[in-house]
Amino acid sequence: MLMQSEIAGMGRRLLATVLDFVILHLALTVVLRNMLLPPAGVWMVDFIFIVVYSAMFLGITGQTPGKMLLGLRVIDAQGGGLNYGQTFRRAVVKWSPVFVLFIVMAVLTPEEVYQGPAAGEVMDTVEVDAQSALFSSVAMVIGTVGWLVLIYAARRHPDGQGIHDRAAETYVIRTG
């Protein structure tokens, strides 16, 4: 069992996750801007890249750039490095709640919102039918609840392990 002083705090972990998401999403937005993908396709590409990004960095160094900046490292249950099975399992469980939300919302958003008006035209209002609005709201609630469950589980666990950590048998520790 880890010493309590080694376990990373929830605030640092959340900030590292947000930093990783922002870094990768901004980079992918620039790269994917001119590709002819539907919105749901863009979010699927984002999901695949963030899972690979997380898994590869954790497999090589035990740290993503966000974790490096905040002095965190992910270790296995014996205190050593991670294998790629652990890193991919951890990344998929961690990122699925938010990306399911984004993908569902992208599918349900009318195409006119993404295309926008032609040059020099003013966009009229886009009508969203009640069923799409309901599904978007439900998806948002489910995605939010999914991440809140991950956060709650980590806060309640004596070693700070979230569901994604338990699925991969990992711990997040402070490095400095």
C-alpha torsion angle, residues 130, 133, 41, 43 (rounded to 10)? 180
Q: How does pLDDT run across 59-93, given as a tens digit for each residue? A: 999 999 999 999 999 999 898 999 999 999 999 99
8 A C-beta contact, residue 146 and residue 96: yes
Residue 120 lies in a domain: no
Q: How far apart are CA 42 and CA 32, in angstroms?
A: 7
Domain containing 89 equals: 4-110+128-174
169: confidence class by pLDDT, cuts 50, 70, 90? very high
171: confidence class by pLDDT, cuts 50, 70, 90? very high
Q: What's the confidence (pLDDT) of residue 168? A: 95
Residue 62 to residues 65, 84, 102, Cα–Cα distance (Å): 10, 11, 27
Residue 135 lies in a domain: yes
Enumerate residues 6+ apart whose C-beta is below 8 A from 149: 97, 163
Residue 118 lies in a domain: no
* Domains in the chain, number: 1
Residue 82 lies in a domain: yes
Residue 121 lies in a domain: no
Q: What's the confidence (pLDDT) of residue 160? A: 82
Q: What's the confidence (pLDDT) of residue 114? A: 47
Mean pLDDT of the chain: 80
